[in-house]
Amino acid sequence: MKTPHILLLLLVLCQTVTAQTGWSQIRNGQPWYDTQGNVVQAHGGNFLIEDGTVYMVGEDRTHSWYPDVNLYHSRDMQVWEYDGKIIQNGVTTPELGTTRMIERPKLMHCPKTGRYVIWCHYEASDYSASEVAVFSSASVTGPYRLEWSGRPLGIKSRDCNVFVDDDGTAYFISTIQENQHLGLFRLSDDYLRPLECTVLMRGLRREAPAIVRVDSLYYMLSSACTGWDPNQCMLSVSRSLTQGWSPLTPVGDRIAYDTQASGILTLRRGKRTLHLYVGDRWKDPDLPQSKIIITPITLRDGRCHFPYMKTYRLNLRKALVKP
C-alpha cells in the first residue's frame, strides 16, 4: 500500500524536525509508512540498537500468510528506512519449500562470533510442525543463511522470543508441548544452538513471552493462547530465570489495549532507563493491516505500570518520553 506524496513530504519534514530537536512523534493505532511510502510491515519482531541506529525486524504480513522477514532502520523510531526482505520464504531456504510460516523473527548480535542471529517460529500451515529456524549473517542487512530448523532439543515449540542477559548469555523462550508450558532454552555462546531447556509456567498455557531484566529482577509479560484475538496481558517476576517466577498478575487493560506482546525494548541514557512495550494489534481489521503498537511502561519493585499512550513524543538519545 502506497502513501500519498503529501505524507511522504510530511515524513521528510518529521526527519528534519527530529534531527534538529531529538524529539520524534510516535503515533499508535495507525499505519506507519517507510521513507519509500510503503506501509511498514514488521510484526511479531524485535529491535536491535547499534550506534544510535534502531534496527527493526518483523513479519511481512502484506499477503497474510507465509510471511517473509523485513528489516528497517531508524534514528528516531518515527522515520523508518526499508533495508529489504532479509529472509524470503522459499528463497532463503529453497530446500524447505514455500509452505512454511515464519513467525516472530527475533534478531540478536552475538558478541563472540560477531554474527547476527535470527531465531523464529518455523511453522506448517496447520501449526503441526512446531519447529524453529535459526538464521545467521555477518552483516545485519544480510545475506542470512539457514543454520538449522527443527524442534529444539526435540521439543515442540511455537510462539517465541529471545532474551540476552547482562552477562551475554542468550536464551530462546517459547511455548512448548502443544501450548502447555513455556520452555526456556539456554543457548550456546554462538547463539546458534539450544543447550538445555527449563520448563516454566507448567500447564499455564502462556504465549507471546517477553522478558526484560531490571537490576537483579526479571520481568516477564505473556498472554493466553487465543489465536489472533487479544487477551489480558499478565506479569510474572523472578530473581532467577530458571525458577521462582511469581504467580501471574494482570497488567494493562483487559485485552492489552487490543495487542499481544512481541517484546520490551529498553532504552538507556546514563542512569536513566526507559522501557517500551512493543505489541501487535493483529487483524486490524485483517492481518496485512495489523499495527505495531509501542507504548512506555514502568517496571519497578516487581510491578508493571502499563498504560496506553496513543500518541507521544520520544527522545531516543535521552531515553525520555513526553505527551
Instruction: By CB under 6 A, name the binding residues for ligand DGJ.
Output: 44, 103-104, 159, 207-208, 227-228, 260
Rounded to the nearest whole angstrom, what is the least distance from the CB of residue 20 to ligand DGJ in the complex? Answer: 39
DSSP 96: G
**Which CB, 170 or 208, lies closer to ligand DGJ?**
208
C-alpha distances (whole Å) from 106 to each of 59, 91, 320 are: 10, 19, 25
Choice between 105 and 194, CB closer to ligand DGJ: 105
Beta strand 249-251 pairing with 233-238: antiparallel
Tell me the C-alpha distance between 241 and 260, whole Å.
Answer: 22
The partner residues of 38 in beta bridges, in order of sequence, read 2
Contact 161, 263 (CB under 8 A): yes
Question: Shortest CA distance to 149 belongs to which of 163, 170, 135?
Answer: 135
Other C-beta atoms lying within 10 Å of the C-beta of residue 264: 24
Q: How far is the CB of 41 from ligand DGJ (least distance, A)?
A: 15
At residue 220, φ and ψ (nearest 5 deg) are -125, 125
3-class secondary-structure state, position 283: coil
Q: C-beta of 106: minimal distance to ligand DGJ in Å?
A: 12
Q: Which is nearer to ligand DGJ, 73 or 158 (CB)?
A: 158
Nearer to ligand DGJ, 159 or 258 (CB): 159
Q: How far is the CB of 123 from ligand DGJ (least distance, A)?
A: 7
Q: 288 with 61: CB under 8 angstroms?
A: yes
- The CB-of-292 to ligand DGJ minimum distance in angstroms stands at 14
User: Cell numbers of 262, please?
Assistant: 512481541
15 vs 130, which CB is nearer to ligand DGJ? Answer: 130
Nearest to ligand DGJ by Cβ — which residue? Answer: 227
* DSSP 8-state code for residue 255: T
Q: 113 is written with which cell numbers?
A: 562470533
Number of Cβ atoms within 10 Å of the Cβ of 223: 25
* CB 314, min distance to ligand DGJ, A: 26
CB of residue 44 to ligand DGJ, shortest distance in Å? 5
135: how many CB neighbours lie within 10 A of its CB? 28
Q: Which is nearer to ligand DGJ, 18 or 70 (CB)?
A: 70
Q: How far is the CB of 321 from ligand DGJ (least distance, A)?
A: 26
N-terminal to C-terminal alpha carbon distance within the chain = 29
Closest to ligand DGJ by CB, 227 or 270:
227
AA letter at 215: D
Please identify, using beta-carbon distances, which residue of 93 and 174 lies nearer to ligand DGJ.
Answer: 174
